[in-house]
Each structure stands twice: as C-alpha cells, then as structure tokens.
C-alpha cells in the first residue's frame, strides 16, 4: 500500500487532529478550546473531527491517550448508595487500568507526569472532565476539595501497583485493594474533613 497523502482514515490525519487538540487544550483550557479551531489548525473539516473522535470530551480524552472518558465512567460510579461511592470508584478505576487500553494509558500517564507541557493538560483534564462534572452534574458537596484528595490516592495506587509494581499492591486482588484503600476514597469524598485553613 502506498501512501497518498492525507485522506479520511489516514493515521496522519488522526495524528494531526490530536496534535492540534493537545496544543489547543493545553494553551486555551478545555472551555476555551473549540473543535472548529482545532479542525482548522489540523487542516480538516470539523465534521471529520467529530467523525473520528466524537464529542469534545472524547477528543480531549483521546488527546491524552487515557483509557477512559469520565463522562461515561462517572455516572455508574455516582449512581447507587453514597456509602459505597469510594469502593465503586476504586473498583471501576482499577478495572480500567487492568483492561484494554490500560497499558497504553499507563505509558501516557507516565509521560504526562514527566513533561511540564503535558502536566498542565492533565491538570486541565482533571479540572474540566472530573471536577467540573462532580460539581455541576452530580452536585457533590465540597467537590473542589474532595475530588483532588481522592485523585491523590487513586493516582498513588495506580503508580505503586502498575508502574512501581511494589508488592503487595502489584499482585493483590482488586477485592483486597478495594477493601483496604476504598475507605480512604470514601472518607475523602463523603467523610468529615478539616476546614481548609489559610495557605502558609
């Protein structure tokens, strides 16, 4: 097969869109970036961006190469007994990294954490895709404080289990991790926490 330049389905076109998306989300934030301008920067029609990547949310997730879209995952986590939200979130999260796309997602996470340009993109992802939803769509009280705390434990577990591969977390069953670490996530999301004091 010879390469005949850009066309629908051409990996070069997909990559050009993702590059333009990373640049736009990184410089303008999620709210400021537009699919229309991303398409223009990539030299394609906006309809092609939607055809390849779906919604703006899904384009953002694809640009980060993360194996999940919060808009699809969060509803099932948040539905149900509030006392089980910590365990459900952790179980769902571990399932994602254990599942298809998990390995590629890990590589993307590690790269993002290492590079200043991309770490800002990851922060914007957490703010616009996770935190904003928790506030606006699910009305989680004190989400702006609680979600980053939960994120700190979730990111730490992912790094120790899948990247550092430190036992017992590396080889432990999901059930054991959920029973052990789930109460931490639960407390951060719904438990009593000290009021934030002034920064020092």
Nearer to its own copies, 135 or 149 (CB): 149
Contact 67, 98 (CB under 8 A): no
What's the angle, vertex CA 108, arms to CA 147 and CA 48, rounded to 5? 95
Among 26, 127, 138, 190, binds its own copies (CB under 8 A): 127
In the block, tokens 């394609």 appear at 44
Residues 83-122 that bind its own copies (CB under 8 A): 110-111, 113-114, 119, 122
Nearer to its own copies, 38 or 150 (CB): 150
How many CA atoms, within 13 angstroms, populate the side-chain half-sphere of residue 41? 17
Of 8-16, 23-31, 34-42, 188-196, which segment contacts its own copies by CB under 8 A?
188-196
Among 85, 181, 186, 189, binds its own copies (CB under 8 A): 181
Establish if 76 lies at the interface with its own copies (CB under 8 A): no
Least spacing, CB of residue 24 vs its own copies, in Å: 20
Cα end-to-end span (Å), the chain: 62
Q: How many Å is the Cα radius of gyration of the chain? A: 19
Establish if 73 lies at the interface with its own copies (CB under 8 A): no
Contact 24, 33 (CB under 8 A): yes
Distance CA 141, CA 155 (A): 22
Among 64, 154, 186, 189, binds its own copies (CB under 8 A): 154
Ramachandran category for residue 139: left, alpha or beta (phi over 0 → left; psi -120 to 50 → alpha): left
Among 48, 71, 73, 149, binds its own copies (CB under 8 A): 149
In the block, tokens 């770490």 appear at 119
Q: Which residues contribute to the site for its own copies (CB under 8 A)? A: 110-111, 113-114, 119, 122-123, 126-127, 144-145, 148-149, 151-157, 159-161, 163-169, 171-176, 179-181, 183-184, 187, 193-194, 196-200
């Amino acid at each position: 097969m010879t390469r005949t330049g850009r066309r629908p389905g051409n990996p070069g076109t997909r990559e050009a869109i993702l590059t333009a998306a990373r640049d736009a989300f990184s410089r303008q934030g999620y709210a400021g970036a537009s699919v229309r301008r991303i398409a223009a920067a990539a030299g394609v029609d906006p309809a092609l961006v939607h055809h390849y990547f779906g919604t703006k949310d899904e384009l953002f997730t694809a640009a980060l190469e993360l194996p999940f879209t919060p808009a699809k995952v969060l509803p099932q986590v948040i539905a149900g007994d509030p006392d089980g939200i910590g365990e459900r979130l952790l179980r769902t999260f571990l399932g994602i990294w254990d599942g298809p796309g998990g390995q590629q997602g890990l590589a993307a996470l590690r790269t993002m954490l290492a590079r200043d340009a991309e770490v800002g993109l990851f922060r914007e992802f957490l703010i616009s895709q996770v935190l904003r939803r928790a506030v606006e769509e699910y009305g989680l009280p004190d989400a702006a404080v609680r979600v980053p705390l939960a994120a700190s434990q979730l990111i730490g577990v992912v790094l120790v289990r899948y990247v550092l591969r430190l036992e017992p977390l590396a080889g432990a069953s999901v059930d054991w991790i959920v029973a052990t670490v789930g109460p931490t996530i639960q407390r951060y999301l719904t438990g009593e926490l000290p009021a934030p004091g002034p920064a020092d």
